[in-house]
Chain A
Amino acid sequence: MNFNIDAIKAMTYDAIVIGSGISGGFAAKELTEKGLRVLMLEKGKQLEHVTGYENAMKDPWETKYNGRLTIEQKESHSKLSRDYPYNEMTEKYWMNDNDSLYKEEKRFDWYRPNIVGGKSIMWGRQSYRLSDIDFEANAKEGIAVDWPIRYKDVAPWYSYVEKIAGISGEKLGLPQLPDGEFLPAMEMYCVEKEVKQRIEKNFPGRNLTMGRVANLSAAEKAHTNVGRGACQYRNKCSLGCPYGAYFSTQSCTLPYAAKTGRLTLRPDSVVTEIMYDNNKQKATGVRVRDAVTMQDREYFAKIIFVCGSALGSTALMLNSVSTRFPNGLGNDSEQLGHNLMDHHFRTGASGQWEGDLDKYYIGRRANGIYVPRYRNIGNDKRDYLRGFGYQGGASREGWQRNVAELSFGADYKNEVTKPGNWTMGLGGFGETLPYYENKMYLHKTEKDKWGMPIVVFDAELKENEKKMRIDMANDAKEMLEMAGLKNVKTNDRGSFLGMAIHEMGTARMGRDPKTSVVNGNNQVHAVKNVFMTDGACMTSASCVNPSLTYMALTARAADFAVKEAKKLNL
């Protein structure tokens, strides 16, 4: 008897955090710093900071294929290899398609990491705040449900996480893209400076600014405290940074959490179910399958943070069934799995710049320029809802140019070893509306190797997004031409949901438990001690890169959870 009690005690923590990515890492940091003993569970394998980044310091000639995938890798990653994030250099960071089984009623690109730190290692690091234009949009337009929060609720938490993560950028004073606590902005190329001036002069209301990015343009005390150094401008971020110069779980939140002495991190831990006690009306803990030994264990805690990435988190909730919740934990609203969103992108324009051939640059800027949303703002009215922002930048051609031409020999070599022409491109990132019918659900019979039902995707872009894409291409061309670029061509390489790796929704936030899964504090309406703080909670997608918002919402929810626990409400 005593033995059993002791055993349960050993498996009991104050809080369990499921997932170790951007949201999970922040949850672990905040909860441990507030005095809780935290167990962080990660399905992927351990990835040690610095020493684990085995490709980060490689010279090009130390790679086998200069980034190409082998036939074998294409076969073992038939879905992932459809796009660039999975390549020779990042291969070990992503889950094998044979392990990450899922079905596509419609094509969906599901990028699932397989490491501690999750996508915080490979992320694009663009970091923007949502604004009230985003938080109010659903209510104003009668789309989906209203966000239960407004910008003022999150603003202090944006500031809080920005100072910790370290966001470099420029203040603009725009209502649609609130300013943050910025480290110095990175520099623009000469071409970008000129294009910026011409666009801002010719298109009132449009701005071209430096990307706001989670790279340390200068390392402050909050960063050096945990061993982080300033950006070295190698632009190899997605391989893992040996300098800790960009925000990742490993560089930032994990060392902060570890410092408290209250964090237990357990990799190789596939959470298969959140256990629910009908008498207590609370979750009691989680069931975990060891990814290597396949042994099952149970862990218990008073507070559970579900941060397994939007789709992973929702799959887990759907799989956590009980007599009280036969369709998934906290799923009274039947909204779990619905309103699946991502950004749509891969369309824009690019052109050539004549001139500035006497200008060059030093270093490889791990960042681009940004054009904040201007469509459907103020008096601008389009035949679609919401809007898009542009990411892009200039570059000067190098040895890769003319590779498809028929030239060869000494003249060709001499030519391409000199800097080529400047070019510049803009690529739109557009908001996708939250459609109930865009959904994921669990397959009734098929399971993955860990016994989790596999996920089925049934989601697509619709008319609103398709109309917006026309503007995304044409506006880019118009601006680049006005700015003086030549031979400007639009492009649309097609966008499938999932490709932007900004998956959002499926457990939306709202005021009414009948129509939403979590409340304004990311607390599951019907299961008060469970919090979902990753992309799953997003009620609408905005058009800005979402990770900074997950950090802010997570820190805010952790603060709320600990206060509630102290009031004995959890």
Chain B
Amino acid sequence: MNRREAVQRVALMMGGVLAAPLMAGVMGQITNTGESLNITAQQEALLAEVADIIIPTTDSPGAKAAGAEKFIVRVMRDCYKKEDQEKFYAGLAKLDTDSQAKFGKGFVDLDVAQKNEMVKLSTVNDKPFFQRMKELTVTGYFTSEIGATKALEYLPIPGKFVGCVPLKPNQKAWAL
């Protein structure tokens, strides 16, 4: 039984009473796309670039493709106190000015090796910023549709529980 069938079976079990917006969500469409931002487009773009170094594209798309920066912006704005937000965005700005100082251009314009070098430096120079950035990037990515379904194995309605099965070759970790 594939996911669509499983979902449809739930809908049938529920007597077709699923509300339309919920149903749209169940069927895999993204119903929660972005929020109005109170940071600049440049800051958001910078976040996306840093996130994409933390989780780059490999055989699955990376953090930028998954829109992890939108999650970061939203969580920062709504779940952190103003002083924590300021600290976080100051850390982001410093990464950019440090890039200027070292390579003569902003982070966004660096090549991949330089970006990696700058992020590596931030693990030493501004560990609190790096750790928060990493935590938000990783959570945002692996709970995104791309992260959960492409980088990991996503099984929203398992329908059964088997406690002990042989690991398949190249088995990805469960997203949930």
| A51/B18 contact (C-beta < 8 A), A59-B156, A398-B173, A406-B130 known | yes
Q: Looking at the complex, which one of A65, A192, A408 makes contact with B78 (CB distance below 8 Å)?
A: A65
> Are B74 and A364 in contact, CB atoms less than 8 angstroms apart?
no
| A360/B56 contact (C-beta < 8 A), A187-B161, A408-B119 known | no
With A and B bound together, what is the CA distance between A396 and B153 in angstroms?
A: 14
> Are B175 and A187 in contact, CB atoms less than 8 angstroms apart?
no
Residues of chain B within 8 A of A413, CB atoms compared: 55-56, 58, 62, 151
Interface string of B139-158 (1 = CB under 8 A from A): 11011110010011001111
> Are A357 and B167 in contact, CB atoms less than 8 angstroms apart?
yes
With A and B bound together, what is the CA distance between A310 and B106 in angstroms?
A: 61
CB of B32 closer than 8 Å to a CB of A = yes
> Are B134 and A361 in contact, CB atoms less than 8 angstroms apart?
no
> Are A418 and B171 in contact, CB atoms less than 8 angstroms apart?
yes
With A and B bound together, what is the CA distance between A229 and B81 in angstroms?
A: 44
Nearest residue, chain B, Cβ from A356: B164
CB of A243 closer than 8 Å to a CB of B = yes
> Are B159 and A363 in contact, CB atoms less than 8 angstroms apart?
yes
The interface centre, meaning the residue of A58, A396, A408 with most chain B CB atoms within 10 A of its CB, is A408
A418 to chain B: closest CB distance in Å? 6
B77 to chain A: closest CB distance in Å? 9
Nearest residue, chain A, Cβ from B66: A61
> Are A232 and B158 in contact, CB atoms less than 8 angstroms apart?
yes
With A and B bound together, what is the CA distance between A233 and B41 in angstroms?
A: 41
User: Which residues of A in the span 15-62 have a Cβ within 8 Å of any Cβ on B?
Assistant: 50-51, 54, 57-62
Interface size on B (CB < 8 Å)? 66
Interface string of A134-169 (1 = CB under 8 A from B): 000000000000000000000000000000000000
Residues of chain A within 8 A of B26, CB atoms compared: 57
B117 to chain A: closest CB distance in Å? 11
> Are A60 and B175 in contact, CB atoms less than 8 angstroms apart?
yes
Q: Looking at the complex, which one of A60, A69, A187, A412 makes contact with B79 (CB distance below 8 Å)?
A: A69
Residues of chain B within 8 A of A227, CB atoms compared: 13
Residues of chain A within 8 A of B62, CB atoms compared: 413
Nearest residue, chain B, Cβ from A420: B173
| A403/B157 contact (C-beta < 8 A), A359-B164, A416-B173 known | no
Residues of chain B within 8 A of A399, CB atoms compared: 138, 142, 152, 173, 175
CB of A433 closer than 8 Å to a CB of B = no
Nearest residue, chain B, Cβ from A361: B163
> Are A59 and B25 in contact, CB atoms less than 8 angstroms apart?
yes
Residues of chain A within 8 A of B80, CB atoms compared: 71
CB of B31 closer than 8 Å to a CB of A = yes
CB of A292 closer than 8 Å to a CB of B = no
With A and B bound together, what is the CA distance between A403 and B134 in angstroms?
A: 7
CB of A362 closer than 8 Å to a CB of B = yes
The interface centre, meaning the residue of B79, B127, B162 with most chain A CB atoms within 10 A of its CB, is B79
Nearest residue, chain B, Cβ from A58: B25
> Are B161 and A64 in contact, CB atoms less than 8 angstroms apart?
no
| A70/B79 contact (C-beta < 8 A), A51-B18, A60-B148, A61-B148 known | yes
Nearest residue, chain A, Cβ from B80: A71
CB of B90 closer than 8 Å to a CB of A = no
Residues of chain A within 8 A of B78, CB atoms compared: 64-65, 70-72
Nearest residue, chain A, Cβ from B62: A413
> Are B173 and A418 in contact, CB atoms less than 8 angstroms apart?
yes
User: Which residues of A in the span 176-235 have a Cβ within 8 Å of any Cβ on B?
Assistant: 186-190, 192-193, 227, 229, 231-235
CB of B101 closer than 8 Å to a CB of A = no
CB of A66 closer than 8 Å to a CB of B = yes
> Are B173 and A409 in contact, CB atoms less than 8 angstroms apart?
no
> Are B171 and A360 in contact, CB atoms less than 8 angstroms apart?
yes
Nearest residue, chain B, Cβ from A51: B17
Interface string of A64-87 (1 = CB under 8 A from B): 111011111000000000000000
> Are B14 and A363 in contact, CB atoms less than 8 angstroms apart?
no
CB of B30 closer than 8 Å to a CB of A = yes
Residues of chain B within 8 A of A412, CB atoms compared: 54
CB of A260 closer than 8 Å to a CB of B = no
B53 to chain A: closest CB distance in Å? 7
Residues of chain B within 8 A of A66, CB atoms compared: 71, 75, 139-140, 143
With A and B bound together, what is the CA distance between A229 and B15 in angstroms?
A: 13
Interface string of A291-331 (1 = CB under 8 A from B): 00000000000000000000000000000000000000000
Q: Looking at the complex, which one of B32, B54, B158, B167 makes contact with A360 (CB distance below 8 Å)?
A: B167
User: Which residues of A in the span 368-419 have a Cβ within 8 Å of any Cβ on B?
Assistant: 396, 398-400, 403-404, 406, 408-410, 412-414, 416-419
Residues of chain B within 8 A of A419, CB atoms compared: 167, 171, 173-174
> Are B143 and A360 in contact, CB atoms less than 8 angstroms apart?
no
8 closest Cβ pairs, A-B complex: A187-B163, A363-B158, A363-B161, A60-B143, A190-B164, A233-B161, A70-B78, A406-B123
- List 17 A-B pairs, Cβ < 8 Å: A57-B7, A58-B25, A61-B32, A70-B79, A71-B79, A189-B164, A234-B176, A243-B13, A357-B167, A359-B165, A363-B158, A364-B174, A399-B175, A400-B138, A403-B139, A408-B53, A408-B119
6 more CB-based (< 8 A) A-B contacts, given A61-B148, A409-B56, A413-B55: A59-B148, A61-B144, A232-B157, A363-B155, A403-B139, A408-B55
